[in-house]
């Protein structure tokens, strides 16, 4: 396994921490709202799945911040930037702290998205276990973990968006439409992060698009919270 981790222009170094920290807060807030719903009605396990999903996603961003902090604090990587004119890093598995941080970040993100996907698509327990195993395997045993992680996350978020769009056509609820929109935007950001390998500016755009997706997601969940007593809560969307 090797890591070829792209980043943005030099002026953007560290600013991505702020954006990702906002995403952490957004995801943990959604997790809190979901737990609140679950506490009120523990017979509805969908709320528990949503809570678990967003807590894992929030934790994944914490490890993402840690991963890039290790990356930016390395003197060797700074020299690579100065030599080639762009941020391209080759970090071997011997850098144990970096490798562990990235693997945890990637695994938590993929499993978090997959758990949310199970809210809208039915899987047997055996299928869930198998798919989670495959997600972990993708991170651990692919030649370029960064590319495959983001590509897999893109497919998961795109399938979530399509499932929500299908539900919107059935129920016509605005919250469902906004959820579909937010996951569509998040899936776009994941493609932009892949493109950052060749165009460093795409990392900046990806961070901003990702932030927009999560903000729309938070606004949608807050809207559901305010109208929680009405028919058609988030898990019925």
The model's pLDDT over 28-68, given as tens digits with 9 standing for 90+, comes to 999 988 888 888 777 778 889 999 999 999 999 999 999 88
Map tokens 């929500």 to a residue. 164
Architecture of the CATH domain 3-236: Up-down Bundle (1.20)
Neighbours of 105 (CB within 10 A): 22
Q: Quick one: tokens of 122?
A: 């039915």
Task: Encode pLDDT of 121-147 as tens digits.
Answer: 888 888 888 889 988 888 887 778 888
| DSSP letter (8 states) at residue 232 | -
pLDDT number for residue 93: 45
Contact of 43 with 236, CB cutoff 8 Å: no
Domains of the chain, residue spans: 3-236
pLDDT number for residue 74: 66
């Amino acid at each position: 396994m090797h890591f070829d981790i792209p980043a943005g222009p030099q002026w953007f170094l560290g600013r991505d921490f702020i954006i990702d920290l906002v995403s952490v807060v957004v995801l943990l807030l959604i997790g809190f709202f979901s737990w609140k719903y679950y506490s009120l009605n523990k017979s509805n396990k969908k709320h528990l799945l949503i809570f678990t999903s967003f807590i894992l996603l929030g934790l994944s961003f914490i490890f993402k911040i840690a991963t890039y902090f290790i990356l930016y604090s390395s003197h060797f990587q700074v020299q690579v930037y100065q030599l080639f004119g762009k941020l391209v890093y080759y970090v071997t598995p011997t850098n144990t702290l970096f490798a562990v941080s990235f693997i945890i970040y990637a695994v938590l993100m993929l499993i978090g998205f997959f758990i949310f996907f199970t809210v809208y698509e039915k899987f047997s327990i055996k299928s869930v276990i198998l798919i989670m195993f495959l997600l972990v395997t993708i991170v651990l045993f692919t030649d370029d973990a960064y590319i495959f992680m983001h590509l897999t996350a893109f497919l998961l978020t795109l399938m979530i968006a399509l499932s929500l769009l299908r539900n919107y056509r059935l129920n016509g609820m605005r919250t469902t439409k906004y959820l579909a929109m937010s996951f569509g935007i998040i899936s776009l950001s994941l493609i932009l992060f892949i493109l950052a390998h060749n165009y460093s500016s795409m990392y900046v755009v990806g961070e901003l698009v990702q932030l927009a997706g999560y903000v729309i997601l938070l606004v949608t969940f807050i809207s559901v919270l305010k109208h929680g007593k009405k028919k058609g809560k988030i898990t019925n969307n």
